[in-house]
């Protein structure tokens, strides 16, 4: 028996290698659909895990090796401390402590890269075990292959990932693996004499059929998809739904002009706003407003755009010369279908370059209007900008002496603003000494205190209600407009000049299908769903500094600080908050990708994040439960052998015998209810080629039908039973 | 027939002995022994000339019992079976001349050829274990074993046994033809001298009685009793059955199973015993609906279906109850 298995074993390993190749296909898209960097290192780690699983080392040896490897990966990429120094341990401990706390309070967004990477590595580790089990132990690979196809298909359809290469690779690998697996099944328990020859006879046709079908499939003309691309369809469906609702106050995500009445739910709109190629990703600014009416935002005066020429300085000065900057360039390719009559620009914009589009700017509000967009809808424009880097220490030490004009204009609040808003502002900001700390305290305030990101069921304030007051004290649910308006109002109530800014988030990384991305730039797709609003706080010596109060979004602006670089920088630099917390093996990537979309789509809402985070652990639990269920005879057998070997109770024989019956039934030798144990034992013995089952059964009959004491019989029979169990289980 | 371990040593001596004259035919031999040890009787249904008589005679000789034979004919009278008192002029008294039924092992040949009156004389004796002659009850010999035969082919002028009478036979068997090889061996053996003379007793009558007693003491676990009851119950509610197994049938089943277990050198009954015996014990006790009979269902096949339908007990009572 063992020898036969040995003969088949190398075939199994071949299948296992195929499994690794398939799993690699799962990892490949990650750098496109998420901002996972250093993919190679994860692939190497996975490969080592697979190898160690295949080597069948003692469990503690392979555990130790994998653990060491994991530490090395983390050390090289994420830990600055020296290995095994005191501070190293402190670092690890505090990281774990903080992140576990975050995990249990549900603030997955704030998890640090270290912890996310750690969880991801553990996930890969577990996957190697799972696939080892699927591919080698039970020789069942079909499920994983199907899952891989579905995964690639979904990514190809719903993201920018191009799966056409992957699908061919997956096809080749999986069909080869299935062919080999069938061979292994066929020859399981057969004579091994002709075996090598059979492998040749098998694999030559297999390989040639594969090669031919792949070549034909690749070369043959392909019909265009018979079904329409589901993405716009799904979007239209949801749009229709919303039109049907037809009530006032529904906001459509996307850039809109009129903000004088905010509130109400909105619909997602995923149509493309523009493509951008940029050297530094960040928010795209479009507009700012200064007057809060209690219902929404308006301007204190009409915008007065001054026309300018391509190459002129536009004069939108958001910061002073005290701020460190870096010269960058970006190109914006507006969508043909989307006629946005505003130009978008990153922080620190200097000049626009464009052939055809004439434009005018109101530098005060930061509005850049185009004149002939309708004429040249697809005209792209290049932006030169100085990417600012705000120094936190400077911000802290900034003077609080605003010029009266600015102070008056940007601390405006409606007269009938409820008093409790002011009290709350007082309470939140009392802890901070500097304007920066106060602003930070307000920004952080929304992360706790029961606020939830949600796009549905957002109330519209009644006539006698204040929009911000309603959000702060009553509904506590909302999206970016709620969060940003509330922050501005709170800051103003605390006598800090602040304003409300609109624009787009950085968008999703992706490859622009029509234009190749210039060297040194990365390409982003910005949809109407990426429309966003945030906050700018005025610092007299620095200028207008962006803040991001909305849950699930991270401020893309760069902040530096000497003192707490370690804490501040990584947080601030994360351009899109990715939540990589523990994810189940299979659904991991789609989920992550989905989150990406949601985050980037402005609509990182707790309504969809929170259920999602329940879904992931429950999916993990479900998979674990299913795995346990499908492997139940494996671990039950091990458990019962261990248990009954030394147990000598009156019922042991009976229980052990019945477990053997169950196991045999599971293996396909079912005793039908009218069959006597003796007859059954004879058929089993014929199957195994010995007399052990009959021996065991005769003993059992004496216990069963003669009421004999079973303990002495069990002592004699335990070895027989163990042999049978092992034969049955193998 | 499933071979169930080895035989009891005495039984295997008897079988070997009978095998001197009857080639093969282990099943009818073992089943006849089962009936003998259970204190029951056998109805052998088969064509003439397959060795029914030889079987009974050799069995009788093997266990050292006297063998009587009644050839049933239409004009046979009950007194021809039981015996009759004849006036002896010398002693001036009526002397009782015992009939053949007073032997230990009785072969009732072609029982369906005689009138019901005579049939019932025999069957009553089988049930009551005594006969009444001229007002005097006379006990029958012990052991008492009747092997009745009937010819299934030639029904002309026969009185087939009523169902109530069939119930008195513990088992109903068929001999069946020997296979070609066995028949060759048989011809060889007959060539020299009739082999019946070679059969010598292998035990005494007292041994046989002791064996009967031991067989009756075989342990029947409650689950087995339950199994038999389940079989009986299901036979009564089966849609193809007109008349199911009588309670006497259940008792017969258990007695036969005990003897069968004893023959196989076990002192406890296992479900296999019941299963092996079921066609022979139940077959003639169940009446099929005529529709089912027209559809080609035979009692044997029905019993097989019943056996498949009833769960074999494989757990102990204590576990079962939990």
Do B223 and A707 count as a contact with CB atoms less than 8 A apart?
Answer: no
A254-263, A308-317, A400-409, A464-473: least confidently modelled range:
A254-263
**What DSSP line would sit under A376-438, residue for residue?**
STT--EEEEEEEEEEEHHHHHH------HHHHHHHT---TT--HHHHHHHHHHHTT-SSHHHH
Give the model's pLDDT for residue A581.
39
B36 pLDDT tier (thresholds 50, 70, 90): very high
Question: Torsion angle of alpha carbons B242, B245, B248, B250, nearest 10°?
Answer: -170
Q: Looking at A529, A547, A573, which one is the last position of a domain?
A: A573
Model confidence over B211-226: pLDDT tens digits?
999 999 999 999 999 9
Q: What is the mean pLDDT of residues A363-370?
A: 81
Token pair, residue B165, equals 């009478």
Q: Is A239 near chain B, with CB under 8 Å?
A: no
Chain B interface mutation, best of A704, A710, A711, highest count of B Cβ atoms under 10 Å: A704
> Could you tell me if A279 and A145 lie in one domain?
no
Q: Contact at 8 Å (CB) between A75 and A83?
A: yes
Pick A705's closest partner by Cβ from B2, B224, B309: B224
The alpha-helical segments, DSSP class H, found in chain B are 9-18, 26-38, 52-62, 78-82, 116-128, 163-166, 180-192, 205-216, 222-237, 247-263, 271-282, 290-294, 299-309, 317-321
Does residue A607 form part of some domain? Answer: no
Does residue A180 form part of some domain? Answer: yes
Query: What superfamily in CATH does domain B217-321 come from?
Result: Magnesium chelatase subunit I, C-Terminal domain (1.10.8.80)
CB atoms within 10 A of CB A420: 13
Structural domain total, chain A: 3
> Could you tell me if A478 and A566 lie in one domain?
yes
Q: Is A683 near chain B, with CB under 8 Å?
A: no
- Computed over every residue of chain A, the mean pLDDT equals 77
Q: What is the mean pLDDT of residues A127-150?
A: 83
Measuring CA to CA, which residue among A316, A272, A125 is closest to residue A600? A272
Q: Looking at A573, A597, A618, which one is the last position of a domain?
A: A573
Does residue A605 form part of some domain? Answer: no
Do A677 and B271 count as a contact with CB atoms less than 8 A apart?
Answer: yes
A231 pLDDT tier (thresholds 50, 70, 90): low
Chain B interface mutation, best of A659, A665, A674, A703, highest count of B Cβ atoms under 10 Å: A674
Do B271 and A706 count as a contact with CB atoms less than 8 A apart?
Answer: no
Do A673 and B270 count as a contact with CB atoms less than 8 A apart?
Answer: no
Do A701 and B270 count as a contact with CB atoms less than 8 A apart?
Answer: yes
Query: Has residue A411 got a pLDDT over 50?
Result: yes
Give the model's pLDDT for residue A394.
81
Distance from CA of A659 to the nearest CA of B (A): 12
Pick A674's closest partner by Cβ from B4, B219, B310: B310
> Could you tell me if A179 and A268 lie in one domain?
no
Distance from CA of B12 to the nearest CA of A (A): 21
Does residue A651 form part of some domain? Answer: yes
> Could you tell me if A205 and A286 lie in one domain?
no
| CATH 3.40.50.300 residue spans of chain B | 9-209
| φ/ψ (deg, to 5) at B61 | -65, -40
Angle formed at CA A481 by CA A480 and CA A487, multiple of 5 degrees? 90
Q: Which residues in chain A touch residue B218, judged by CB atoms under 8 angstroms apart?
A: none
Chain B: residues touching A (Cβ < 8 Å)? 2, 4-5, 219, 221, 223-224, 267-272, 275, 307-316, 318-319
Query: Has residue B157 got a pLDDT over 60?
Result: yes
Distance from CA of B235 to the nearest CA of A (A): 15
Token pair, residue A547, equals 């803040």
Measuring CA to CA, which residue among A207, A206, A187 is closest to residue A9? A187
Residue A704, Cβ density class (10 Å: 0-12 exposed, 13-18 middle, ≥19 buried):
buried
Task: Classify domain B9-209 at the CATH class level.
Answer: alpha beta
Do A706 and B272 count as a contact with CB atoms less than 8 A apart?
Answer: no
Does residue A549 form part of some domain? Answer: yes
A220 pLDDT tier (thresholds 50, 70, 90): confident
Q: Looking at A219, A236, A263, which one is the last position of a domain?
A: A219
> Could you tell me if A206 and A276 lie in one domain?
no
Give the model's pLDDT for residue A243.
44
Pick A705's closest partner by Cβ from B4, B270, B275: B270
What percentage of residues in chain B have a pLDDT greater than 90? Answer: 25
| φ/ψ (deg, to 5) at B288 | -85, 150
Q: What is the mean pLDDT of residues B271-294?
A: 90
With left for phi above 0 and alpha for psi between -120 and 50, is residue A275 left, alpha or beta? beta
Query: Has residue A608 got a pLDDT over 50?
Result: no
Give the model's pLDDT for residue A241.
52
Chain A interface mutation, best of B264, B304, B316, B320, highest count of A Cβ atoms under 10 Å: B316
Q: Which residues in chain B touch residue A713, judged by CB atoms under 8 angstroms apart?
A: none
Query: Has residue B275 got a pLDDT over 90?
Result: yes
Distance CA A73, CA A47 (A): 14
Q: Is A674 near chain B, with CB under 8 Å?
A: yes
> Could you tell me if A328 and A198 lie in one domain?
no
Q: Which residues in chain A touch residue B221, judged by CB atoms under 8 angstroms apart?
A: 704-707
C-alpha dist (Å) from residue A14 to A50, A132, A182, A495, B8: 12, 12, 13, 70, 59
H-helix or E-strand spanning residue A72: helix A59-78
Exposure on the CB side of residue B70, measured as CA atoms within 13 A: 35
Question: Which residue in chain B has the smallest CA separation from A702?
Answer: B268
Do B315 and A703 count as a contact with CB atoms less than 8 A apart?
Answer: no
Beta-carbon contacts of A548 under 8 Å, excluding residues fewer than 6 positions away, are: A443, A534, A535, A554, A555, A556
Token pair, residue A395, equals 């911000």
> Could you tell me if A437 and A559 lie in one domain?
yes
Does residue A245 form part of some domain? Answer: no
Model confidence over A682-716: pLDDT tens digits?
888 888 888 888 888 888 888 888 888 878 888 88
Chain A interface mutation, best of B219, B224, B270, highest count of A Cβ atoms under 10 Å: B270
Q: Is the peptide bond before A710 cis (omega within 30 degrees of 0)?
A: no
Pick B315's closest partner by Cβ from A654, A673, A676: A654
Q: Which residues in chain A touch residue B316, judged by CB atoms under 8 angstroms apart?
A: 654, 703-704, 707
Q: Which residues in chain B touch residue A654, judged by CB atoms under 8 angstroms apart?
A: 315-316, 319
Do A705 and B309 count as a contact with CB atoms less than 8 A apart?
Answer: no
> Could you tell me if A366 and A414 lie in one domain?
yes
Give the model's pLDDT for residue A100.
84
The alpha-helical segments, DSSP class H, found in A456-587 are 467-469, 480-493, 565-573
> Could you tell me if A61 and A195 lie in one domain?
yes
Query: Has residue A226 got a pLDDT over 80?
Result: no
Helix (H, G, I), strand (E, B) or coil at A370: strand
Question: Strand pairing of A349-353 and A291-292?
Answer: unpaired
Distance CA A5, CA A187 (A): 10
Q: Which residues in chain B touch residue A672, judged by CB atoms under 8 angstroms apart?
A: 308
> Could you tell me if A205 and A266 lie in one domain?
no
- Identity of the highest mean pLDDT range in A489-493, A528-532, B158-162: A489-493
H-helix or E-strand spanning residue A353: strand A349-353
| CATH 1.10.8.80 residue spans of chain B | 217-321
Measuring CA to CA, which residue among B114, A679, A408 is closest to residue A669? A679
| Residue B143 Cα to chain centre, angstroms | 14
Do B270 and A676 count as a contact with CB atoms less than 8 A apart?
Answer: yes
Q: What is the mean pLDDT of residues A582-590?
A: 40
Name the E strands within A179-323: 251-252, 266-267, 272-278, 284-289, 291-292, 297-298, 306-308
Q: Is A675 near chain B, with CB under 8 Å?
A: yes
Distance CA A656, CA A650 (A): 11
Token pair, residue A321, equals 């010369």
A20-29, A456-465, A594-603, A647-656: least confidently modelled range:
A594-603
| φ/ψ (deg, to 5) at B85 | -95, 135
Question: Which residue in chain A has the smallest CA separation from B305?
Answer: A674
| φ/ψ (deg, to 5) at A251 | -100, 145
Query: Has residue A604 got a pLDDT over 50?
Result: no
| φ/ψ (deg, to 5) at A342 | -120, 150
> Could you tell me if A306 and A442 lie in one domain?
yes
Query: Has residue A6 got a pLDDT over 70?
Result: no
Question: Which residue in chain B has the smallest CA separation from A674?
Answer: B308
Distance from CA of B249 to the nearest CA of A (A): 20
Give the model's pLDDT for residue A194.
56
Question: Which residue in chain A has the smallest CA separation from B227?
Answer: A674
Give the model's pLDDT for residue A593.
40
**What DSSP line would sit under B103-153, residue for residue?**
SSEEEEETGGGS-HHHHHHHHHHHHHSEEEETTEEEEPPSS-EEEEEE-SS
Distance CA A436, CA A400 (A): 10
The alpha-helical segments, DSSP class H, found in A187-306 are 195-219, 230-245
Q: What is the CA radius of gyration of chain A?
A: 33
Query: What is the predicted ipTM?
Result: 0.84
The conformation of residue B193, written as its DSSP 8-state character, comes to S
Give the model's pLDDT for residue A549.
87
H-helix or E-strand spanning residue A146: helix A142-158
Q: Which residues in chain A touch residue B4, judged by CB atoms under 8 angstroms apart?
A: 678
Query: Has residue B68 got a pLDDT over 60?
Result: yes
> Could you tell me if A396 and A441 lie in one domain?
yes
- Computed over every residue of chain B, the mean pLDDT equals 85
Distance from CA of B145 to the nearest CA of A (A): 29
Q: How many CB pairs under 8 A join A and B?
A: 59
The conformation of residue A294, written as its DSSP 8-state character, comes to S
A449-458, B5-14, B238-247: least confidently modelled range:
A449-458
pTM, to two decimals? 0.47
Distance CA A15, CA A135 (A): 7
Does residue A239 form part of some domain? Answer: no
Give the model's pLDDT for residue A228.
57
Distance CA A444, CA A447 (A): 5
Do A704 and B310 count as a contact with CB atoms less than 8 A apart?
Answer: no
Question: Which residue in chain B has the smallest CA separation from A651?
Answer: B319
B280 pLDDT tier (thresholds 50, 70, 90): very high
Token pair, residue A254, equals 């996307």
Distance CA B131, CA B125 (A): 6
Token pair, residue A431, equals 């802890």
Q: Which residue has the higher pLDDT, A161 or B195?
A: A161
Give the model's pLDDT for residue A229.
62
End-to-end CA distance of chain B: 35
Give the model's pLDDT for residue B31.
92
Q: What is the mean pLDDT of residues A286-302?
A: 85
Q: Is A701 near chain B, with CB under 8 Å?
A: yes
Angle formed at CA A483 by CA A481 and CA A486, multiple of 5 degrees? 100
Question: Which residue in chain A has the smallest CA separation from B224?
Answer: A705
Q: Is A691 near chain B, with CB under 8 Å?
A: no
Query: Has residue A382 got a pLDDT over 90?
Result: no
Distance CA A477, CA A482 (A): 8
Query: Has residue B48 got a pLDDT over 50?
Result: yes
Distance from CA of A723 to the nearest CA of B (A): 21
Q: Contact at 8 Å (CB) between B185 and B228?
A: no
- Identity of the highest mean pLDDT range in A158-172, A427-441, A588-602, B274-288: B274-288
Does residue A582 form part of some domain? Answer: no
Do A705 and B221 count as a contact with CB atoms less than 8 A apart?
Answer: yes
Query: Has residue B258 got a pLDDT over 90?
Result: yes
Distance from CA of B272 to the nearest CA of A (A): 6
Residue A68, Cβ density class (10 Å: 0-12 exposed, 13-18 middle, ≥19 buried):
exposed
Token pair, residue A170, equals 């997956």
What percentage of residues in chain A have a pLDDT greater than 90? Answer: 0
Q: Domain residues for A336? A: 253-573
Do B312 and A654 count as a contact with CB atoms less than 8 A apart?
Answer: no
């Amino acid at each position: 028996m063992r020898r036969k298995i040995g003969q088949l074993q190398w075939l199994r390993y071949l299948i296992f290698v195929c499994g690794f190749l398939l799993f690699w296909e799962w990892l490949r898209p990650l750098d496109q659909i998420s901002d996972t960097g250093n993919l190679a290192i994860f692939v190497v780690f996975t490969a080592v895990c697979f190898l160690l699983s295949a080597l069948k080392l003692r469990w503690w040896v392979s555990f130790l090796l994998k653990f060491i490897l994991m530490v090395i990966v983390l050390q090289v990429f994420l830990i600055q401390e020296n290995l095994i120094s005191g501070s190293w341990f402190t670092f690890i401990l505090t990281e774990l402590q903080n992140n576990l706390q975050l995990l249990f309070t549900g603030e997955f967004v704030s998890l640090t890269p270290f912890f996310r990477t750690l969880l991801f590595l553990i996930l890969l580790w577990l996957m190697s075990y799972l696939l080892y089990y699927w591919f080698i132990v039970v020789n069942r690979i079909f499920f994983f292959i199907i899952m891989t196809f579905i995964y690639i298909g979904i990514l190809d359809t719903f993201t920018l990932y191009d799966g056409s290469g992957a699908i061919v690779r997956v096809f080749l690998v999986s069909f080869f693996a299935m062919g080999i697996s069938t061979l292994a099944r066929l020859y399981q328990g057969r004579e091994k004499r002709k075996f090598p020859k059979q492998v040749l006879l098998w694999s030559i046709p297999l390989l040639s059929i594969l090669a031919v079908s792949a070549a034909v499939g690749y070369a043959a003309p392909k019909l265009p998809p018979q079904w329409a691309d589901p993405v716009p369809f799904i979007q239209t469906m949801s749009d229709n739904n919303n039109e049907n609702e037809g009530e006032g106050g529904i906001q459509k995500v996307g850039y809109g002009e009129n903000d004088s009445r905010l509130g109400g739910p909105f619909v997602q709109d995923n149509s493309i706003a523009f493509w951008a190629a940029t050297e530094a990703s960040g928010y795209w600014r479009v507009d700012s407003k200064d007057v809060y009416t209690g219902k929404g935002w308006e301007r204190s005066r009409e915008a007065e755009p001054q026309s300018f020429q391509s190459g002129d300085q536009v004069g939108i000065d958001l910061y002073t010369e005290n701020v460190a900057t870096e010269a960058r360039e970006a190109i914006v390719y507006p969508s043909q279908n989307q006629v946005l009559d505003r130009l978008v620009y990153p922080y620190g914009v200097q000049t626009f370059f464009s052939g055809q589009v004439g434009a005018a700017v109101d530098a005060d509000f930061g509005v850049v209007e185009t004149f002939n967009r309708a004429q040249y809808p697809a005209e792209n424009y290049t932006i030169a900008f100085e990417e600012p880097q705000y120094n936190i220490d400077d911000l802290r030490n900034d003077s609080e002496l605003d010029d009266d004009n600015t102070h008056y204009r940007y601390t405006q609040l409606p007269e009938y603003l409820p008093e409790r808003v002011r009290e709350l502002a007082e309470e939140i900001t009392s802890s901070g000494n500097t304007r920066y700390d106060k602003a930070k305290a307000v920004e952080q305030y929304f992360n706790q205190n029961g606020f939830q990101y949600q796009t549905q069921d957002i109330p519209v304030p009644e006539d006698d209600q204040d929009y911000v007051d309603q959000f702060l004290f009553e509904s506590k649910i909302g999206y970016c407009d709620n969060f940003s308006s509330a922050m501005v109002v709170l800051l103003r109530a605390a006598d800090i000049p602040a304003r409300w800014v609109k624009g787009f988030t950085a968008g999703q990384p992706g490859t622009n299908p029509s234009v190749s991305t210039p060297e040194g730039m990365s390409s982003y797709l910005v949809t109407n769903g990426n429309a966003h609003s945030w906050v700018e706080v005025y610092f007299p010596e620095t200028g207008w500094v962006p803040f991001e109060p909305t849950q699930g979004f991270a401020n893309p602006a760069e902040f530096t600080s000497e003192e707490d670089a370690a804490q501040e920088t990584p947080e601030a630099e994360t351009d899109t908050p990715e939540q990589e917390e523990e994810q189940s093996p299979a659904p991991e990537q789609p989920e992550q990708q989905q989150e990406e979309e949601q985050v980037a789509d402005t609509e990182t809402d707790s309504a969809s994040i929170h259920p999602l985070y329940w879904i992931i652990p429950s999916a993990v639990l479900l998979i674990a439960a299913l795995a346990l269920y499908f492997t139940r005879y494996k671990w039950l057998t091990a458990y019962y052998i261990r248990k009954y070997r030394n147990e000598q109770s009156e019922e042991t024989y009976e229980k052990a015998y019945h477990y053997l019956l169950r196991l045999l039934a599971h293996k396909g030798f079912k005793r039908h209810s009218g069959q006597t144990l003796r007859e059954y034992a004879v058929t089993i013995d014929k199957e195994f080629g010995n007399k052990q089952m009959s021996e065991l059964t005769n003993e059992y009959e004496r216990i069963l039908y003669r009421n004999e004491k079973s303990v002495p019989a069990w002592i004699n029979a335990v070895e027989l039973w163990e042999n049978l169990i092992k034969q049955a289980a193998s | 027939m499933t071979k169930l371990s080895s035989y009891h040593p005495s039984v295997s001596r008897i079988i070997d002995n009978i095998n001197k004259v009857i080639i093969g035919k282990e099943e009818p031999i073992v089943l006849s022994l089962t009936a003998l040890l259970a204190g029951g009787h056998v109805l052998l249904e088969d064509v003439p000339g397959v060795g029914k008589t030889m079987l009974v005679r050799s069995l009788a000789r093997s266990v050292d019992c006297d063998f009587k034979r009644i050839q049933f004919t239409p004009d046979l009278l009950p007194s021809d079976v039981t015996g009759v008192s004849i006036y002896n002029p010398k002693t001036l008294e009526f002397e009782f001349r015992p009939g053949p039924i007073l032997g230990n092992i009785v072969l009732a040949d072609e029982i369906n050829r005689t009138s019901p009156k005579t049939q019932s004389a025999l069957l009553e004796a089988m049930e009551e274990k005594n006969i009444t002659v001229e007002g005097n009850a006379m006990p029958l010999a012990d052991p008492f074993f009747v092997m009745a035969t009937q010819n299934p082919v030639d029904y002309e002028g026969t009185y087939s046994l009523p169902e109530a009478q069939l119930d008195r036979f513990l088992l109903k068997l068929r001999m069946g033809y020997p296979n070609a090889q066995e028949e060759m061996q048989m011809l060889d053996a007959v060539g020299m001298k009739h082999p019946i003379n070679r059969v010598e007793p292998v035990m005494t009558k007292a041994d046989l009685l002791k064996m009967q007693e031991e067989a009756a003491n075989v342990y029947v676990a409650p689950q087995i009793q339950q199994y038999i009851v389940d079989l009986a119950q299901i036979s009564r509610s089966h849609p193809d059955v007109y008349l199911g197994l009588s309670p006497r049938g259940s008792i017969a089943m258990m007695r036969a199973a005990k003897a069968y277990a004893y023959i196989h050198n076990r002192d406890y009954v296992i479900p296999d015993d019941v299963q092996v015996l079921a066609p022979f014990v139940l077959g003639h006790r169940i009446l099929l609906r005529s529709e089912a009979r027209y559809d080609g269902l035979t009692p044997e096949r029905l019993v097989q279906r019943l056996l498949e339908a009833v769960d074999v007990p494989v757990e102990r009572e204590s576990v079962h109850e939990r």
